[in-house]
Amino acid sequence: MKTLFELKQDMLTIGDQLQKVEGDLAQKAVDPKIKIDELAGIKELKKDLKARFEIIKEQHDSLEAEQKAAMQSKAQSSSFSNDPNQKIIEAKAALVRKTIAKESIPVEIFQALGDDDTSKGNAFLPKTVANDILVEPIVKNPLRNVSTITAIPNLEIPKISFSLDDDDFIEDTETAKELKAKGDTVTFGRHKFKVFTGISETILLGTDTNLVSTVENNLQSGVAAKERKVAFTKSPKTGEEHMSFYDKTAVKIKEVDGPDLYKSIKAAVADLEEDYREKATIFMRYTDYLDIIETLANGSTTLYTAQPEQILGKPVEFTDVAVDPVIGDFAYSHFNYDIAAQFEQDKDIKTGMNQFVVTAWLDHQIKMSSAFRIATIKP
């Protein structure tokens, strides 16, 4: 393959020949002594030289564009800080800005973010960004304190992590019945959702740290809201029924009732099998907890300073979406993300806000319904 310099020389040579033929044709065209056949031959030669020039020019322009892109990528790579943490922030900021500007993402940005160059960085969220947005625990979703979070494509796992050579002693338990009825493995699917974060021009043109912090915080909040919604909704979307603790078609978590919420929660904890009860956590609304304290306190202020675990006997996580308390071993609540998350950009013409959009695929599997109970009040 010829070098860029050699192609430039070829273009110059053919260009000189073409210019000479064009001058010769112009001169002979006005000479009546020159026959038409001779002029036709010169015109054909001009056409041939012009075609050759265009072919060489196309090769030249393509090679020149490749070399410019390589130089820009090298400049981009060398512009990153030598500090590993700062380098990631700078690469994330560059990814967002390139996406918003609808420009191609240099492979060096993806490499800085822990991705390889096999996808050339145009379709998939880099590993570091996916980790920070989708997998790393964040406080805003209490489920992340106790549930399992993974990002593994086509995940299939056993419902129970161990077995014994003689399991006759569990034949009559709810766990054994559930395994017999539903099988002993869980296969995760892919359910698409989008998370949008608005980015103002001020943020986009600001510091890398502020840009990355704004985008990641907003996306993390969106992901957390999605996880809570699918896990505790009483009206799941079609195909997402199995993700909700309250689903009565596939999940079918046992409900334990009592005369009031305090007693139903205590009864639900006691109703769990021993292994689940030992690691149980209670998810409930804070307003319901305050009602329980008010009833138990009976005018005293002592209980208001006690920890929820001291009152209910198990660790408590508060979330407003748990309209009926859910009690159980939340290690059997498993969120899995497909790693093929895409990112895009959009712009609201009316407000002028840029939108950085992440499309992700999520599945929430309640691996063992028998590991949970739902506390309700007797009608």
pLDDT of residue 268: 97
* pTM of structure: 0.64
Average pLDDT for 287-305? 86
Over residues 25-44, mean pLDDT: 83
* pLDDT tens, residue by residue, 225-254: 888 999 999 999 999 999 999 999 989 999
The structural domains of the chain, with segments of one domain joined by +, span 4-79, 124-379
**Which band of pLDDT confidence, cut at 50, 70 and 90, is reported for residue 117?**
very low
The region of weakest confidence among 38-52, 54-68, 112-126, 340-354 is 112-126
Give pLDDT tens digits for 145-173.
Answer: 899 888 888 888 887 654 544 455 455 46
Cα–Cα distance for residue pair 364/147, rounded to 1 Å: 10
Q: Which fold has domain 124-379?
A: phage-related protein like fold (3.90.1690)
Higher pLDDT, 321 or 162: 321
Cα separation, 127 vs 96, in Å, equals 15
**pLDDT surpasses 90 at 284:** yes
What residues contact residue 8 under an 8 Å CB cut-off, 6+ apart?
Answer: 60
Biggest distance spanned by C-alpha atoms of the chain: 123
pLDDT band at 222 (very low <50, low <70, confident <90, very high): confident
pLDDT at 265: 97
Residue 121 above 50 pLDDT?
A: no
